[in-house]
Structure 1
Amino acid sequence: MAEPSRLVGTLETEVEIKASAEKFHHMFAEKPHHVSKASPGNVQGCDLHEGEWGKVGSIIIWNYVHGK
């Protein structure tokens, strides 16, 4: 049986946002599942793998497009 592939590393980009830094942080820190609504062309969604939404230490799996 083949092993599942893993991507490990850092992804960095610049994105112009039309919101305050406080609102942006709130969305990523407490409601990451709303990111796909804010940027549907880049982020398709995310799933909570372990923990609770908005809690430190939770593990979230992101589904996104890299390099169009």
Structure 2
Amino acid sequence: MGVKGKLIGSVEVKCGGHLVHDIFHSKTHHIPNICPGKVNHFEIQEGENIKVGSVVSWKYNDDGKDKTCKQVIEAVDPQTKTITWKVIGGDLLELYNSFTIITSCNHQWTTWTFVYEKKTEDIPEPLVLLGFLLHVTKDIEGHLLK
């Protein structure tokens, strides 16, 4: 069994967390245009929009390397502006047995929570990925403030 971990990062957004949540919930397909060079492609493979059971895939550039991620939407809570994305394929699963990403947005904050299990003890914590998603959030904020 691997080493379990939880990593949380929050960033203040002047546009309001509810607007960032709206991008991730109903306008996700715009993210590659909002964050060119970071997010190269987004596709809904099964289902429609971001709803429980939908399967989505991403192509992104993390720390100068092209990566992929396939996720299933496990939960969407419009009250707390939270989306739970479980990774089911892609580069993350080369290092981790399981990886869940929780996006929550409220008032002036967007929070990213990673719940994961590393395959071995010497696998690094996903700090670079957390930094990447915080930068994506700031790009979205900049887009919304234009």
Structure 1 position 17, deviation (Å): 5.5
Task: Give the corresponding residue for 1:38.
Answer: 34
Equivalent residues of 1:30, 1:55 under 8 A apart:
no
Instruction: Give the total of aligned pairs.
Output: 57
- 4+ residue runs of structure 1 moved beyond 4 angstroms? 12-18
1:56 aligns with 2:56: no
* Superposed CA RMSD: 2.4
Equivalent residue for 1:25, pick from 6, 21, 24:
21
Which structure has the highest strand share of the two? 2
Using a 3 Å threshold, how does the CA distance of structure 1 residues 31 and 51 change in structure 2: closer, same or farther? same
Using a 3 Å threshold, how does the CA distance of structure 1 residues 24 and 14 change in structure 2: closer, same or farther? same
Which stretches in structure 1 are left out of the alignment for 5+ residues? 1-11
Which stretches in structure 2 are left out of the alignment for 5+ residues? 1-7, 65-146
Q: Which has the higher contact order (CA 8 A, sep 6+)?
A: 2
- Among all aligned residue pairs of Structure 1 and Structure 2, give the percentage whose two residues are the same amino acid: 35
Rounded Cα–Cα distance in structure 1 between residues aligned with 2:38 and 2:62: 8
